[in-house]
Amino acid sequence: MFSNISWQQYCIFLIAANAIYYLGLWIFYGAKFPVLSGVGRIQQFSVHHEDEPDEVITTAQHVMDELRPLFEGRSNKNELILALQLHLHKYNQWEEPGFRDTVNEFIIREGQSKCSIRLSEEDQRVLWM
């Protein structure tokens, strides 16, 4: 039976089978493949997708770990704000839901407990500029 199949027919079958398989995946998962979702339109820069809240939390935790050493030995509010601004500058374009709120809560908690500095809402907005 296999002696009746040529290499050309075999390759065409493999290509067609793969195309059908990936088309089925694309239809089933609602075109959420990163390679295919950007075809024909420009996507806005985002590190996360809307349906991935765990990644937002993981990234927020990473940012908080970066910021943790900044609170050691700081007693001047302006110095703390400047140091936080410098570190948060690379994240100011991120508009993921819950990201800034989580980081701001951490900053308020650490500022009060380690530095005895209370940051107002205006101070929090300045951090992200």
With a cut of 70, say whether residue 33 has pLDDT above it.
Answer: no
Q: How confident is the model at residue 45, as a pLDDT? A: 40
Q: How confident is the model at residue 19, as a pLDDT? A: 94
Could you give the angle at the alpha carbon of 11 between the alpha carbons of 6 and 15, nearest 5°?
A: 150
| Residues 95-128 pLDDT 10s | 777 778 888 888 888 888 887 788 888 887 887 7
- Pseudo-torsion of CA 29, 31, 33, 38, nearest 10°? -160
| Amino acid sitting at position 85 | Q
DSSP letter string, 43-62: PPP-SS-TT-HHHHHHHHHH
Cβ 81 vs Cβ 123: under 8 Å? yes
| Residues 57-88 pLDDT 10s | 777 888 888 888 888 877 788 888 888 888 88
